[in-house]
Structure 1
Amino acid sequence: MKKLFTKEVKIALAVLVSAVILVIGIEYLKGVNLMKPTNYYYIEYKNVTGLTVSTPVLIDGFKVGLVREITYNYDKPGTVTVEVSLDNQLKVPSGSKAVLLVDFLGTATIDLQLNKYVSTYHSAGDVLIGENAPDMLGSIQKNVLPQLEVMLPKIDTILTGIQTIVTNPALTESLENLNRITAELETSSKRLNSVMSKDIPPILANVTDITKNVSEFSSQLNELELKKTVATADSTLSGLKGITDKLNDKDNTLGLLLNDKQLYDGLLNTVGSADSLLIDLRLNPKRYVHFSLFGRKK
């Protein structure tokens, strides 16, 4: 009976296993997990610059699939068909868009933008809507370069004006004057620092002494004036007290006038009588004047 696993069969099995391992390894290096079930969809683009096999398909930055194949659609000239494999758990709503993004370095990714406003879904093998996002370099070339071209003459004029200013001898002279002024300011600053450190402290000390002396003199002057004023007030009050005492004392004329009521009444009656006498004298002068100042008549 012949052996089932001959040398040739073993070699064939080894080659077959090696081939399977090689395919699995290549797919793994591409980022494809052959053990994970996936669904296949197709996307049509007008331009696939930067897009390669194994380019990731992202939803909100999360990887959900890969590009499996890129082919030119000869039935629709100008269209490139891209086959992508997505996780079989992912349901793609109808109307979802696959936007091809290319960064500044030329690296492409597919951003799958799901339509959240429908309840119907694509089936595996359907063609998804493909769009090309504005290319950064193309946008720069389209929008920035024309404006830059318009600005170049103005920039050239500005540079010419700056060159004229820089090469003007007046600018050099101004810079030299500025350097000289700076040097003089530095010298003046050093002198001022010297004055501040040497002359100002003694002056401040003298001012302090003078202020102290003036303060002491003022205090003494105020004290002297106050003493003099107090002494004068005391003397005045003493004099007033003496006058008051004399007025209250009955041993003198003013005291009697102020304190003796009988004397006051007598003086009052005398003044009244004198007043009556003067009135009568004025009314009846002949009653009192009966002699001549120049002698008696014969």
Structure 2
Amino acid sequence: MKIANETKIGILTALAITCLILGYNYLKGNDVFSNTRKFYAVYDRVEGLTVSRPVLVNGYQIGRVARLDLLPNHKIRARFDISEKLEFPKNSIAEIQSPDLLSGKVIVFKLGNSTEIAEEGFEFASGIESSLITSLNPVKDKATDALVKIDSVLTAVNNILNPEFQKSVQKSFKSVEVTMKNLEGTTVKFNTSAERLNNIMANVESITQNLNNNNDKISRVLANIDNITDQVAKANIHETLLNTSKTMATVSAIMTKIQKGEGSIGLLLNDNQLYNNLNKTAADLDKLMVDFRLNPKRYVHFSMFGKKPSQYTTPDTVVIKN
């Protein structure tokens, strides 16, 4: 039986299309000739996960990601085609992870410990492992802080290398040296003062010891002073003060009379005529005494032979030498 060319072309076209479909599915990770089970998980974000990425359990591939669908609530639903006959506990977690820095994202199943086994079409709990970049954020922050500190150190070093700053540092060291010398002198003075202070404290201790030894005597002296104070307090101080007040009143009355010119003392102090008379009498008495000294024969005359008296000298003509 002869086959027509059109039939041959149709058969070859069908085989080509079949190979194309099988190859496309194979490249997408779909195993056409094996039975697969379908499971699901919903993620808030897929973090770079794509279709046909492997599904792993303990690093062993058990299937592939078949579909990624965007739900109305903007979450992503992933479908996993599992080819291995592996039982999954219902509390297992389908987590998106990055196995290394170069490859893409994969699904890693973390098997739970539940006794209930998930049937085909079960939706597992989802999870997303922290990316390496996210885990490196604390390191990045610490590196940033370290760079800021290094910048501060370099700025300080630059300031130290500045000639003006070096001059300031030299001046500061000189000031510190002068201060240390002054402090050394002060320390010496303080040591001397400390010795004096020790002597003073020793004297104070000695005085305290003497006071302690003479405590009984001091107590008796204080008791005597207390008795004297009591006796003075018991004296008739009121009567003494009253007599003193009367005496002062009498003296005040006498002074008032003197000021008014009453009595001899008052007349003597207040009568100008009496003062002038007394002054004149004193002057006449002075002249009399001078005349008596210059002319004694005028007042006492004695002569055995009747000698003629000498010439009289008036007191007014004599200059009295001091």
**TM, length-normalised to structure 1:** 0.49
Q: Which has the larger radius of gyration?
A: 2
**TM, length-normalised to structure 2:** 0.45
- Bigger relative contact order (CA 8 A; separation at least 6): 1
